Amino acid sequence: MAGNIPSGLLEACLVLGVSNERLKDIHLTQLQGKGKEPLVEAEVLQVHAPPFVTKESSSNGTQQDLDSAFCRGQRRRSFKKKRDRPLSTISDSGQTNEPVVSGSDDLSVPQNIDLIALLQLCFPDGLRITNESREDSYHFLVFTDVFGNQTHGVVAQYCKPVHYQQDNGIHQNSQQLKKLQRLYTTFSICVISKYPYYNALRDCLSSFLLQLKTSRMCDFEEQVKEFSAKMALVPIPPPGPLNVVFNLRPFLIELPSRLDVDRPVMDLDLHLPFLCFKPKQILQIISSILMEQRVVFLSTNWAKLTLVSECFMVFIHPLRWQHPFVPVLSRQMLDFIMAPTAFVMGCHTSHFEEVAEELDDLVLIDIDKGTVSSSTSNRFDLPDVPLTAKDCFIFRAKGLQLHYDLDVCDAASRSDINDQRAHRRQWQRKVNSVILNVSMELIVNIFSEVCDFLNYEHRVFNSEEFLRSREMTDHTFYKKVLDTHIFHSFLRDRLNQRNDAFTRMQLNIRSSESRRIKTLTVSPRRPTMEAINRKFVQPENGLNRRLGMSMPNLADHRLLTVPIRQTSMGTMTFQSAAGSWSPSRPIKTFKLPDFPPPLSYQYVQNYYNDLIRDLSKAISGASPDDSALLARYYYLRGLVNSVAGKRLDALTDFQSLYKTDMEIFPAEMLNVLVESLPVEERKTAERRPDLKRLISRVKRESDRERARPVDGGSVKRFKLPKKHLHMEDFVRRVQESGIVRDQGTIQRLFEALTVGQQKQVDPETFCFFYNFWKESEGASQDVDLPVVVLEHLETDECVYKLSSSVKTSHGVGKIAMTQRRLFLLTEGRPGYFEITKFRDIEDVKISSAPFLLLRIPTLKIKTSHRKETFEANLKSECDVWHLMIREMWAGRKMADNHKDPQFMEQALTNVLLMDAVVGSLQSQKAIFAATKLAYFDKKKHEVPTTVPETTSETLKHKINPSLDQTAPQAVDILLYTPGQLGVSELDGGGNPKLWCALSDGKVLVFDAASWTMQHNSVQVGKSRLNCMLAVNQQQLWIGSKDSFIYIINSRSVSCNKQLMEHRGAVTGLALEERTDRFSQTLAYSCSEDSSVIVWDVSTLQVKGQFRVPCVRPQSLQIHNGMLWCCGGDCLLEVRRNGTVHRKVSLPNHLLSSPRGFSSFLLFNESEQLWAGFADAGELCVWHCRDLNKPFIRIQLKDCTAVVCMIRVKNQIWVGCHGRSPEGKTRGKIYVLNKDRYTVEKELMAHEDSVQTLCSAEDRYVLSGAARADGKIGIWKVE
């Protein structure tokens, strides 16, 4: 487990070169004139890895072993060092020095480093003793272990002169040599890190070489060790807006943090590939990687190989390359290219011919020439990325500004080198940000619609349907990609609903219209009239509308055929576009103290103390509102405390992440830290309630993590069944197929397919049904409607069913059905005749018409807007059309009466299932089987479809938040937050929002201006959510049954903070507004165990805590500076210190009520206290000034329990649990006048009890229902 602790910057530092004995042999060879510049075998001369000092080695002599460096407790193995200790003997006048490490001849080597391979990689051209000096050079390495974990190396090669005398003595820098022959030997210093800090490590080595060249060779080993020890003192910054800066003279070196938790460290110049290749070639390389080809990069410059290939690994994010990745191959390693698997490798251009001849299917990428070819031909033979994504990427790439000199040609010259470097880094950061957006947009455009073919419940991807939805020209590309390991991992992340950069950009680039269609309807996939129009007018090489909308500065009429806002066609700016995967954030830097003598324990401890002090100053100086920055400071201080031996302080710092940003909470590190606590420290931690909670939670999370599948969960491809299906299997198969998800609908389909037989569906029947459904879906996409017809249809209408050519009372033609109407598509001269809209139908029946000696079945449709009846001789289709039209008619009537458009969508699904059942069964029982799916037509006859007039007039609309669920979920909480002026869409939008908490801990967000779903859901725990409070414009507090208070950022719609001080379910929240600008904003929370906690909203610190003497506190309110608490047995008025001021007990006639009070309201102006009861259909009203006065009782008709109530203007809206005359559960809302104590309205709201009510600026009231209904009602306030 120790290996899970993140290391510092340094993993190991090695020195490689030629040994002393070998130098003597070379000297003899040179004297005898035998050969020039011979290849020499390199050896490992030094290995340095943390820890460099321990408390055990300090002067106090204590035995407790503490690592005073950011090490990971690495496993090591012994490596036998050369007896001659070569570097220390290459010194002045034969002087010998004892090694600093120890007198042992063994070097301690981290176990994951392959020294044999490292020797070859550090000298990929081979090691030569030369007559001329060479300039220092750098190159970069990547090591991958068998588990896919990567380690990164930066190699500095530098030359040192070696002087030879005729007596074979070896000297350097001697001015008394008799006869000199100057040779040069090359050493390599390789710094290995767990993180790809290529630029930073190159800067570190550059600084060190400047120091090395001015020092004596006898100090070489000591200097390398000191340099390594300094690097081990540098902590790695956590993901987010804080970089670490340290001084390694003459440079200030900056370690950039990861942009997000899901991204790797990015210390690269991402524009390098754009300087080497044209956009078309970049796309070819990305295509090769996505298809998992065997890719070989070639260059004469070893450094380019790793830097360029690493850029392409970044470009394909969030897909991750999972095969061998060896960007640098020495000559001895060329046989790696014979590997039978996919790989990405790199070698010198001189090996081009040799590599190309070995294998036939290599993709050869010449970085120097900017070409991409195959080993069998000079052309690139693999399929390109999809055309629309390709055009989008090329257009974006042409707008990139990639030349630093052009951007600074008008800037003043900087005299300070560190200022100049900082300016260059800032420019590079901006360029990288734009390139990241371009590459992420490419991946989103390629794979965005994959998510529409996933079944999350059963973890199934319908690959055949996805392929069928692609353009034919893109099939070859997708067929290759869909079978790759990286795509399989991508699917797994999508099914795990990972909130990464891909997900964020996907949400940003989808238009509000496409989100509405996806989230508020459940219609099967059919093309709308708008899509049909685009299909026929879109140019062959144009971009589709969705892609166009992902590019806000794209307004070229040659590329788009839909009107968009006119914007600049200039080059791309560095500002975050609307399609950005992440909003731009200012980057702060934290400067480390100057390095101490790194091999002294006491100095290192002082360094850590200084570092902790500086971090504490930064924490105290940071604004409480900047919680993201505070979290990074806490993380770094916790990390430093842990390596300094202050484990309890480290635990306290890491616990602070729950209140600042729990996204960067280092669970694995905490688990290791907790397990390493000594007995005494463990006892101390157990005595502190905060640390005790943290330790128990860390253990729970660790156990849960171990129980999770190692591979992140399975991913299945949809396949038709091969055995008989019982009900449970049938439901699963239909949901996997993507036809329909609702369990009730699938169960009715099962009844239809098993009419007259055993209750199981045989595989042949399922196959016929599935194929007929898909054929119907395909046929609807091939509908070719004339322009005269398109003019009469709405842009979002789809043709779902088309009859065969029939004779009608208005001529011969085909009857077409959309979700709104029936119309006749006349033959001969194409024309349009509207038969009726579904809401206008008065009657539908089957009759017969004489034809010669026969009577032909005829369908008659009577409508309200036409006197004559429409007749159609549908012959054998008559019965199924009769069923379908009646179902659509009933669905439309239900939708209109209940103001619920989902009824119409459900009716449409029923109709299409009927058609597929009839088409697949092809038997006498087919029509009877289809009647099993006539849900609304039957419901119309079973219960009245009419809604009471008062309810109909007050109800404006209904929303189903459970459309993406297999069954309805209870709506437990609703909260409306007003819009914010001056807030962009990228920062959460200025429109008002409706927050909806479902029963499984899921929170949905709706745009309250259009009532459309705005974001993906936010999962806050797994338990029921009890209360919700808008604390300010950025924070939303949610109390959960699991005892936590979750804090959602209302702008980013993400949950990254938690308050964990409660021990029981959090049931109530209240906010006390500030009395003046200098006072604190306080929030109160209560839990089932009768505890109340007072919070400082700005710092999230506990300001007070007390217990209230009541049973099961349920809600809180602030009234006249006093806290009122609603418990099951009483209502309490409590002072700020927790003492009870007044108490209202249950009325005598309700003393036997098991649950007692359920809700209450207080009014300032009328001094009234209203209360409802969980076991009685009545309200009681007390006078607040004198609670001993007789209270007023208000009976609520047909109500068995009061669940919730709110005040709106001069009214009280009460949500109740009621019963219908038939004994069925009903959710009713009573609207009362608070002055007259009378019921003004009685609203038949839901088919299950009303769980929650909230007001939208006193204009609307929103109600949420329990599970059997699971819908949100929107009511007009008078």
Q: How long, in residues, is the chain?
A: 1278
Token pair listed for 995: 């927050």
Assign domain 779-942 to a CATH class.
mainly beta
Cis peptide before 318 (omega within 30 of 0): yes
Rounded to 10 degrees, the C-alpha dihedral 1250/1252/1258/1260 comes to: -50
What percentage of the chain exceeds 90 in pLDDT? 58
**DSSP assignment letter at 237:** P
Looking at residue 924, its pLDDT comes to 82
Lowest mean pLDDT among 64-78, 564-578, 698-712, 1121-1135: 564-578
Nearest to 1201 by CA among 1132, 1153, 1272: 1153
Question: Does residue 782 have a pLDDT over 80?
Answer: no
Rounded mean pLDDT, 625-647: 93
Looking at residue 851, its pLDDT comes to 65
Looking at residue 516, its pLDDT comes to 44
Rounded mean pLDDT, 685-701: 90
Looking at residue 147, its pLDDT comes to 78
Lowest mean pLDDT among 77-91, 395-409, 1263-1277: 77-91
Yes or no: say if 886 and 895 are a contact pair by the CB < 8 Å rule: no
Looking at residue 875, its pLDDT comes to 87
Nearest to 526 by CA among 278, 164, 783, 718: 783
Looking at residue 376, its pLDDT comes to 78
Assign domain 2-232 to a CATH class.
alpha beta
Looking at residue 885, its pLDDT comes to 96
- The sheet with strand 460-461 has its strands ordered as 454-455, 460-461, 716-717
Q: Left (φ > 0), alpha (ψ -120 to 50) or beta: where does 486 sit?
A: alpha
Q: Kind of pairing, strands 181-193 and 150-164?
A: antiparallel
Question: Does residue 513 have a pLDDT over 50?
Answer: no
Question: Does residue 518 have a pLDDT over 90?
Answer: no
Lowest mean pLDDT among 179-183, 800-804, 945-949, 1006-1010: 179-183
Assign domain 1155-1278 to a CATH class.
mainly beta
Yes or no: say if 24 and 94 are a contact pair by the CB < 8 Å rule: no
pLDDT confidence bin for 945, thresholds 50/70/90: low
Cis peptide before 763 (omega within 30 of 0): no
Euclidean distance between CA atoms 252 and 232, whole angstroms: 17
What percentage of the chain exceeds 70 in pLDDT? 85
Euclidean distance between CA atoms 958 and 938, whole angstroms: 22
Chain segment 457-509, per-residue pLDDT in tens: 899 999 999 999 899 999 999 999 999 999 999 999 999 888 888 888 887 77
pLDDT confidence bin for 942, thresholds 50/70/90: confident
Looking at residue 943, its pLDDT comes to 67
Euclidean distance between CA atoms 189 and 208, whole angstroms: 10
Chain segment 319-346, per-residue pLDDT in tens: 999 999 999 999 888 989 888 899 999 9
> What is residue 463's three-state secondary structure?
helix
Lowest mean pLDDT among 303-307, 353-357, 513-517, 837-841: 513-517
Question: Does residue 426 have a pLDDT over 90?
Answer: yes
Question: Does residue 747 have a pLDDT over 90?
Answer: yes
Nearest to 141 by CA among 129, 132, 154, 128: 154
Chain segment 523-582, per-residue pLDDT in tens: 555 655 555 554 444 433 333 333 323 333 333 333 333 332 333 333 444 444 434 444
Question: Does residue 193 have a pLDDT over 60?
Answer: yes
The superfamily in CATH containing domain 260-382 is: DENN domain, C-terminal lobe (3.40.50.11500)
Chain segment 1031-1073, per-residue pLDDT in tens: 988 899 999 999 999 999 988 888 989 999 999 999 999 998 7
Chain segment 618-632, per-residue pLDDT in tens: 999 999 889 999 999
Euclidean distance between CA atoms 490 and 472, whole angstroms: 23
Euclidean distance between CA atoms 615 and 610, whole angstroms: 9
Chain segment 974-1000, per-residue pLDDT in tens: 999 998 755 555 555 578 999 999 988
Yes or no: say if 550 and 392 are a contact pair by the CB < 8 Å rule: yes
pLDDT confidence bin for 198, thresholds 50/70/90: very high
pLDDT confidence bin for 584, thresholds 50/70/90: low
- The per-residue DSSP string of 896-955 comes to HHHT-THHHHHHHHHHHHHHHHHHHH-STTHHHHHHTT-HHHHHHHHS-----HHHHHHE
First to last CA, the chain: 64
Lowest mean pLDDT among 51-55, 419-423, 516-520: 516-520
Euclidean distance between CA atoms 377 and 1096, whole angstroms: 70
Q: Kind of pairing, strands 588-591 and 454-455?
A: unpaired
Looking at residue 64, its pLDDT comes to 44
Looking at residue 524, its pLDDT comes to 55
Looking at residue 176, its pLDDT comes to 42
